[in-house]
Structure 1
Amino acid sequence: MLKKIIILGLIVTNWLMIVPTAKGDFCRQINGEQICITKIKRSAKNYWEYRAAVKINKETRPIEIYNCRQRHRITQEGNIIPFKSDGIGKWICGTLNK
């Protein structure tokens, strides 16, 4: 029995090495726009913040800080932009904080 489990484990491991992983962005349609998260990283120090790069209709924005506690995003220039009621910030915080 143990021998069968080991053989099955080796088969599954080899199969997983052969099958390519799907690399894709996490996308959603919001207000008629195709919005994709291309990179995202949660802050270790401030767990309510995400550093994310998003693509809106194939136009990539640079990495911005999404503050889920204060409900705003901070651009690379330091501008603070409040979340829209049905925008990207709400989607990022709502989806990833579950």
Structure 2
Amino acid sequence: MLKIIILLGFIVLNWATIIPLAKAEFCRQINGHGVCVVKIKRSAKNYWEYRTVVKIDQETRPLEIYNCRQRHRITQEGNIIPFKGDGIGKLICNVLNK
């Protein structure tokens, strides 16, 4: 029994050291711009929405809500901006939704 407890403690410690490594940015080139998803969290209530912080050419945007169902993003000021044809919204909704 003691061996199991020690083994579980070892696994938990190793898992805790791996988790920070998983926080790497997800980056792509879109229309000649470097686009990185710095932070992303899927809404539990509205699974088609992502709360996302995006960095474009080393300039970080504030947190925005990307609505993949209605194909728009909502800024912190409440402005609704439709997705562009081949922009960041497509990256977030199509690539990360798999």
Q: CA deviation at 1:46?
A: 0.3
More helix, by proportion: 2
User: Equivalents in 2 of 1:75, 1:40: separation in Å?
Assistant: 15
Q: Which residue of 1 aligns with 2:80?
A: 80
Q: Which residue of 2 aligns with 1:29?
A: 29
Q: CA deviation at 1:28?
A: 0.2
User: Equivalents in 2 of 1:22, 1:41: separation in Å?
Assistant: 14
Q: Which amino acid aligns with 1:39?
A: K
Q: CA deviation at 1:97?
A: 1.5
Structure 2 gaps of 5+ residues are 1-6
Structure 1 gaps of 5+ residues are 1-8
Q: CA deviation at 1:24?
A: 2.1
Q: Which residue of 1 aligns with 2:40?
A: 40
User: Equivalents in 2 of 1:27, 1:51: separation in Å?
Assistant: 17
Q: CA deviation at 1:21?
A: 2.9
SS of equivalent residue, structure 1 residue 21: helix
User: Equivalents in 2 of 1:22, 1:97: separation in Å?
Assistant: 18
Report the number of matched residues. 90
Which protein has the larger Cα radius of gyration, Structure 1 or Structure 2? 1
Q: Which residue of 1 aligns with 2:4?
A: none
The TM-score, its normalising length taken from structure 1, stands at: 0.79
Q: Which amino acid aligns with 1:93?
A: C
Report percent identity of matched pairs: 73
Q: Which residue of 1 aligns with 2:53?
A: 53
Deviation by residue 1:76-98 (Cα, 9 ceiling, x = unmatched) = 00000000000000110001221
